[in-house]
Structure 1
Amino acid sequence: MKPVNYILNVCLLCILWACADDVIGPGTHEAGEAGMEEVSLSLSVRPARVIGRLPDDGTASTRVLDEAKEKAVDNIWVFQYDSKGNLIALPRYYEPDDLDDVKIMLRPATSSKVYVLANLNDDKGFVSDSLATEERFSELMFSFGKDDLHDEDGTNMLMLGSATLDILPGHTNNFEISLVRMLAKITFRIVKNEEANALKITRAEVKNIPAGFRAVAPAAGTIYPQKLDSVVDYTIKSPAADVDYVWYMPENMQGSNKNTDPENKNRNAPANALHLQLYVSSEADGSNYIYTIYPGMNTVDNFDVKRNHNYNVKLSLTSIKTDNRVVAAPANCYVMKHNAFIMFDPYTRTETGGGWKYTDYVDKNNPDKALHDVDILWQTGDGTHFPIGDNSKKDRVFFDETEQKVCVRSGGINGNAVIAARNAKGVIIWSWHIWVNNEAPAQLSHAVKYTTYSWNSSGINTGKRVPGYSFMSCNLGAVSTNVGDIGTFGMYYQWGRKDPFPQTARTDGVTFYANAYPHVQHVYDNEAKLLNMSSTAGTGELFRAVKVTKATGNIEHSIQNPTEFMATVTPGLFQNGGESSGQPGPGNGSTHDPTYYINDGDWYWGHNDKLWGGVPFDEATVNYNNVVANNGATKKSLFDPCPAGWILPRSDAWMGFTSTGLNTSTYTQQNYSNHGSEYAHHGMTFYMQAWRSGPTSFFPLCGWRTGDGSCFVVNGCGGYYTSAASYHNASSIFHIHPELVNPYDYGYQYARRSCAYPVRCVREEMDE
């Protein structure tokens, strides 16, 4: 939706929801219509009732739509029912020139009910059976979609008026009927506030817009609609301050709650109530928030949005203060600064990529899927200081039952944690990554734009760079951005899963070693006590690698066991091998041998290419030589591990890192700056927008966990996932080490989906 003179283009489709064979046509005197009387009708449009006020100080860059245009009537349909509610005259279509004197035909009758339906813009007739009674007319439904354009200036507004009339034969019959607009109008303005310069609104959305509306308004006090199935997407990208945005929409009447304090209006708001949500990125702390505003008949307890009402909504941003109106934006990862507090809604998620449905796993109306408790599953730390801390008193991570929100207080150091929500039976139903980093890595000003090459199914045009998205400044879960610091490595993820694994604690480049102390960083429990981690297999421990089976290789098992590494090779097999032992190991390249893997190296039994929101590799509309395909996610998946506003990169994100756009082991074809210092720096610094010039970003050589769960070539290689699946049930990864840059790797050992790699997120929307 784009602003036109700062007014949103609004789409309105009015279609009859009826089906029958006998059609009553428009028109003149039909057979059986003898005795009709000509009636003079004066039409007027009733003023809309205004709820709320916008500042009238000249600050807005556009005025509200001209009310005269909203009153325009171009055509009408007229319906007449007798005192018993039966249709007594054929519905007739007119295009009046003068609203003060419209000549129409009606049947003589006392106490007949006449309806005038204006601006339907359709003279094709109505289905007689569906409108044979006044009751059926009142229940006539119109759909609200976006296939036909509603005029941008507010004209062609669908309206309805009615009156009970005595039509006397042979008399001069003059009547007045007042029309009301059948839609509600919302005018929204963000009031500029200098105190809010650190807050950037990335998008605004209207939620719970009904998919249809009745011809006759529901009675006062009626909850309507009972169910929602909206198809209209009202979204503004980067809405501006001091601009009026206008939407038209069907009525949504959800009644009142018992609230008495305006600050608590959002608490226990009806589930289907229409509301506005603003997604805000804070330059102060790098986190993302959602402001929720419920229009209604007042600002305290009412949630009715009625036809022929104009709702003026203003928002003045001052600072981030989390309460039931301002919560952290939903995601699987929340970024926090030191000693901060966030509150988020655990029951609402907006991601649609891949077709996954959150209520299949978390649902407040299902006891087995409802939150009962939240605690710290694991957290990093040094034994004294922690990114969250000791939660034995439930004062740092907890579920607020009154607000129905999860609350988190961060500690005083950079670090990572996973918090888990459990149902009343103690089963984990969901978990979230808490990333504490005082450098605000998700802050928009820290993002680095990249460019990639133009490409299609015929090849890659290395002579033409095209804009890409913006990369996060560091790996997901990193606690440092300093070159040469192990804290740049970040967390590790199996392809398609949302939960991280702790990072390694070594940088010596040893080929294989166990995922156990002292090789990985220490992790602590809810009470800040050290968790056992004695081996990759981790028998009896929270962290363990388990060989996947048909029974465990599914979403439900992965959600309930977020710390379990789902291996496709016997856990620890590669780390214990080698040529001298006669077992698999680095000496004989067995990690590349498919015979050691089950399920083709995929933790998800039977494979699913849509876990991170993309589409199957062989369904991509563009595919170049089975190397790169446009099958990555365009919409964020429910299992995407990135914070709100960020998403996993597409498969062509790394193309500009080589001169050919393809894999190369020749340094002259590689686009990075620190050649010769890669091992000392623990990574490679790539040029992001041009060939060996311009902005750069650092990508650590953080290794990965291979299919048996063991740690592999840390500070020797680096691998980074995308949202895209590759062919032969592989994943698409970016694979690097000194003098090797592979934008696309998909072989065994490297790209099996049971491997765990770091993630470098990109912005969900392309920056302008």
Structure 2
Amino acid sequence: MEVIGIKLQKAVLSMMSIVWMLGMSSCEDRLDTPRPSTGGGKTVEVSLCVGIADEVDAGSLEAGPPTTKVIGSGGKAGFDVQLVPASRTKAGGDDALATVKPDKLYGLEVWQYDTNGNFKSGKGLSIGDVEIGSSFTVTLDALTDCQLVIIARGKKNSTYTVGSLSGKSLSEVQGTTATASAIEGITASAYETDKSVINAMPYILHLPKVKVVNDGGAYKIQSPDGTDIRILLRRLATRLTLDWKNFPQKTGYELEQVLLQSIPVEYKLLRPENTDTYPSLLDQYATIQVENVSDEGRYSCWIPSLVRGESTAATSDYYRTKANAPKGSAYATFISRFVTGGGGDSQKKLKYRVYLGGSVSKEFNLLDNTNYIYNVTMSHTKLPVDDRRVTIIDPIPASSNNDNLVPTANCFMVVPGGAFCFNPYKYTVNGVTVDNTVMQGTDWCDVSAETISTPIKSVKVLWQTLEDGDLGDPVLGVVNSSEDHTNIVELRNGSSLTDARIYCRVAPNTSGGSGVIAAYDDENGTGNILWSWHVWVTDYAPSAIGTETVLEKNKRKFVLTNGTTTTRPLMDRSLGAYEGYVQVPGTTLEMSRVGGFYYQHGRKDPLPGAYTSEQLPNKYTFTLNAVTPPKNCLNRYLPDGFNWLIPEMKSRTSLRNAYKNPQFQIAGASGQGWCSDAAQPAWGSTKTVHDPCPAGWRVPSKAELEPLTALNTSIPSSAVKEGGLLLRYDADQSHLTYIRFTGYPPMPTQLNDVGFSGYMGTFDRSGGSRQVFTVSRGGGIIESQAGICFTAKQVYDAHSIRCIQERTD
């Protein structure tokens, strides 16, 4: 008899008899991908007995846990990480929840599917709450090739953790999630007082290739080779335990923070077939912050399973580093602070990163129905300077060795690890430094005769993105503390119009992103924001002068040419985008990285939009909560790098109040825009102080983008699959630039036409409407017809922008 769901050896991942849980896929990976039909089969009664598989102890797998000893005095281990079996955990530290099982199979369902993943109506049964191991009869079709899903949906009081799967195709089941709060509510303290809390845990099994056959007069479920199958359901969640001990008398540092990072948010029921990594890198992820951290402790929790595969570069635990780990791998971060002799506060820190998953160093999977227990010890007597898993944080002020004075604009482009400084009271137009007369105005800094009545008194990081949506490191960096941001942004001579400097230094070793820094009229980031600036962290560095198209990657820019009409060069990507492409991106992750930010007309402040691999409805709405960032959005994070900024919609207001709140979208009134002032902020052919582009660049005009409508007259049929289209920009048909169907956010909880339409804003405005270059495949809630044209949009709508050169020399 073949036992399904018992062992979890490495080979199991490739077995055809099971598809492990909790996945996400692109269209190509759908569970109901068409296969040759096996035809119908007569309806028969099949007797089943369903049990629950024993949990797998990852530390007891055959490969055994590797131990890594890091450089320390006397040859002793300085930073030791071990995946250990439960038998080696600390005395009295047993985790009862790791092995406890429910007292029944709650909400048991059995459903049959054909080889294409189609639900077979009337074949299967919603059985209800039954005893574990009891027998029952279900109606199935006798088929030589079919699929089954058996699930105990979990139950708390009268509510099931997973809704019924009746009538759902396998691809719909694949997108179905369990209620995370129900699973994560199964805590040790809750279990101590009420043993029934474990009943909320779902258990599931997918059999992707079985047959229902007559064997000796009785119908049975067998594997393709004719072996009888015993059905044992697997726990949906992964159990993770961290045991740690820091020796401050040796290390000289006291542990103050423990984080679990890149943790999936959703407990999906099924992973896609033939997929080496899940959930999608564009899925929801969050950081878990452990409370009440001391130098010795333990933390256990439930998390969704995660598969990232293997890295051959991780030849030992010593090489389980960011550089070697597959993108999206989960990890634990331990942060300790230097113990000063006088007991004072110190900004010196050590950050230890422990990648999770696998029983061998090259594996980075955290699998369902599996328990992972890590022992982490920090006992080095010297700084672990050669250990790439440890970051030594000895922050220096952003002004230190930073004399890179750059022209002032509302956006600064800087490479990862780069530094720059600028005069916040100035602005650059056509290469000439001028006064920021708006900021120096009466309601702002109130400058008169070179005297600043309300000077800048402090600067801080307002928000920042991570490297890949909700994955990766914060691109500006982690500030010293909530009060002290001087390692990233620092003010000098704030009371001087000529000598004032804001210094900025961004984190090294990231793949880029964005952030916003802000200047305040009071100390320590208090009071009102006087102005703010977008910091675009990118390797993209196009020259802001010249008249020619440049095709070198990271310097690309395009001259739009149609006949005798020629424009100044245009950037190859949207303002704030991670990437720009001259071919259709190969993956949905790459497609999402071209979106950039969105800008309300006449306003300098970047607003986030979509970041997704899913085909969203043309009107996608969602809710916000303080704990979990929303799915399918490019989320912004606070200066600590893991708490997220909750967006808001502010009422139509004055320019001054809008610029006090650069992180928020401003509502508008039809035909009137978002600004209530009589004099409306504008963009123009002469760069204005409200222009969001970097120095040397500005928002283009409608006329400057018109060659795109002349050269591109139709939407290809491939645009739906490609998430956008390639646009010609001159007579050479090989000269192409990719534009993504990014849609736009009419409010912080809604995205319109993502996957249907893409936009490039212009500075042209007439009354309450603006001109926007638009590409649409049709079917949108706003763009119902396919086409490439200019459309009139409300001034308060926010759209993507591609910047054009201010001048040619």
TM range (shorter): 0.3 to 0.5
Q: Give me the TM-score of the superposition, normalised by structure 1.
A: 0.43
